[in-house]
Amino acid sequence: MPRSPSDTLDWAAHQREAMEAYYAGAQPAHAPMVGDDSGDPPQDQESPRPSGFAEWFALSQTVLPALLFLPGSQAFRLPVRIGAYGVSLYAFAVWWFARGARHQGRHPAERWLLLVLLVVGLSILHPLTNSLTSGLAQTLLYFAIFCPLFWARSYVTTRRQLVRVVLLLLICNGVNSIVGVLQVYDPERWMPKEFAAILTKNALAAATYVGPGGRLLFDTPGAVCSAGAIAALLGLILCLEDLALWKRGIALSMAICGISAIYLSHVRVSLVVSIGTMIAYLLMLVTQRQTKRVAGFATLAAGLVAGGLLLATALGGQTITDRFSTLLAGDPRELYYESRGKSVEYAFSSLLVDYPLGAGLARWGMMRHYFGDPARLDSTELFAEVQPNAWILDGGIFLLTFYGIALIATAVYDLKLIWSLEDRTDRLWTSAVVAANFGTIALVFTFVPFGTAAGLQFWFLEGSLHGAMARRRRLTS
């Protein structure tokens, strides 16, 4: 028999709700606020095997780049590099067509990121954009990096899922840090010849220093400073959780490798940022009156900073101590100005004046390297050592403003979220994510995190946090 109009509407509504719940991995839209995860197994009994798309996505961000260390893999370098970001675009497509998690509410940064995409998209038409292909690639890169804010909340809808994502990110960033340390200690084994050739071609291998025994060491861990800071922070946090002793030992080991990678990089400002994330987390704990946890974390953090310096000095020699002792010997403001401050000043005093509406896309970075047209003499290569320079080159004052507002809106939202949550454990894990993301925001003034996997991880964590806490109980309802 044919359906009546009311039956058809009811059936369609039921199907739409079922599909949304399936793709979102969540309960239907009318599900009430929840306040505990009492039905979940203890953290120490969690299965180590990744489950769910969000966890596999987090793992892919380390596994895919790691393929480049295999012999002969440099011939497939471009597909591998694209794949790490392509997974993010794929996830967005699934989310978009399923309309998953729409009921969970909008994040305050969404509207500003859409304006970012509009500005970058229009910049494809800029007369100095290097080529149509490179312009499209740059636009897709921007979108791939921030689109997890939209789709991650569909796959991370509970606190348990958020904790598992955080644990995986600790492992991934810890492994990256370990490899960074090994590249300094044993570059012949951990720096593939093909990879080293690419570094030399891009003039990155010139950054060297003399280590113990007169060995010439490369500061390749400089590229892993962001991962080192995340590993150091999350490793310390996991040391305070109710886990088996050997698991806490692994977390502490990854934290030590993270801070050591920063020391070996010789990038002093990254150490300051890493310590800053620890202080931010401590302040959040203080406001929550977590006295015991404050004392434990502060003690571990002090020991980590000192112990990491000893390990890095053993590997890299006295130059490590000499380099970082300048943080205490001189004016920190002058040190920053000499290292990165000049680049930030150049962004506002020169680049913004010369290119108020941007300099065209693919004028800097890997999109130019992979897809650019070197024959375009009117679209020569430019350099962006810090994020404001990159935003100005790609979209001028509008891109700089919109992306900046998106980050400010995110920071304000995160802080309000912590104070609004009713459950003590919710506040603790939210503080951990927020502290990690604050570190990435601070890196805006040291390199270009939102043009790399560091920015992708930032928005993935933010989207995961937004989804996991969407239905948690609030102090004011």
State residue 218's pLDDT score: 45
Q: Which residue did the predictor score with more confidence, 394 or 78?
A: 394
Q: Where are the beta strands (DSSP E) in 48-203?
A: none
Mean pLDDT of the chain: 81
**Would you state the structure tokens that stand for residue 411, as one six-digit string?**
């920071």
- Please say whether the beta carbons of 139 and 450 come within 8 A: no
- Model confidence at 186: pLDDT above 70: no
- Model confidence at 220: pLDDT above 60: no
State residue 98's pLDDT score: 77
pLDDT 10s digits, 285-315: 999 988 899 999 999 999 998 888 888 888 7
State residue 24's pLDDT score: 41
State residue 39's pLDDT score: 54
- Under DSSP, the state recorded for 347 is I
- Model confidence at 125: pLDDT above 50: yes
Highest mean pLDDT among 9-13, 94-98, 418-422: 418-422
State residue 438's pLDDT score: 93
- Please say whether the beta carbons of 348 and 386 come within 8 A: no
Domain range summary for the chain, segments of one domain joined by +: 52-468
- Please say whether the beta carbons of 247 and 255 come within 8 A: no
DSSP string across 98-135? HTTTGGG---TTHHHHHHHHHHHHHHTT-TT-S-HHHH
Average pLDDT over every residue of 14-38: 46
- Please say whether the beta carbons of 229 and 170 come within 8 A: no
146-156: burial string, b at 16+ Cβ within 10 Å, e else: bbbbbbbbbbb
- Please say whether the beta carbons of 149 and 109 come within 8 A: yes
Give the model's confidence band at 395: pLDDT under 50 very low, under 70 low, under 90 confident, else very high.
very high
Give the model's confidence band at 32: pLDDT under 50 very low, under 70 low, under 90 confident, else very high.
low
- Its pTM stands at 0.84
Rounded-to-5 percentages of helix, strand, coil across the chain: 75, 0, 25
Range with lowest mean pLDDT among 123-137, 165-179, 276-290, 316-330: 316-330
pLDDT 10s digits, 57-98: 888 888 877 777 676 666 777 787 888 899 999 999 988 887
CA distance 247 to 208: 35
- Model confidence at 445: pLDDT above 60: yes
Q: Where are the beta strands (DSSP E) in 81-130?
A: none
Question: How distant, in Å, are the alpha carbons of 55, 323, 332, 342 from that of 329?
Answer: 44, 10, 9, 20
Percent of the chain, pLDDT > 70? 78
- Under DSSP, the state recorded for 48 is S
- Model confidence at 14: pLDDT above 60: no
Average pLDDT over every residue of 330-343: 78
Average pLDDT over every residue of 414-439: 93
State residue 3's pLDDT score: 47
Q: Residue 374, Cβ neighbours under 10 Å: how many? A: 11
CA distance 464 to 453: 16
**Would you state the structure tokens that stand for residue 344, as one six-digit string?**
């930030």
Question: How distant, in Å, are the alpha carbons of 173, 214, 224 from that of 454?
Answer: 10, 34, 9
- Model confidence at 225: pLDDT above 70: yes
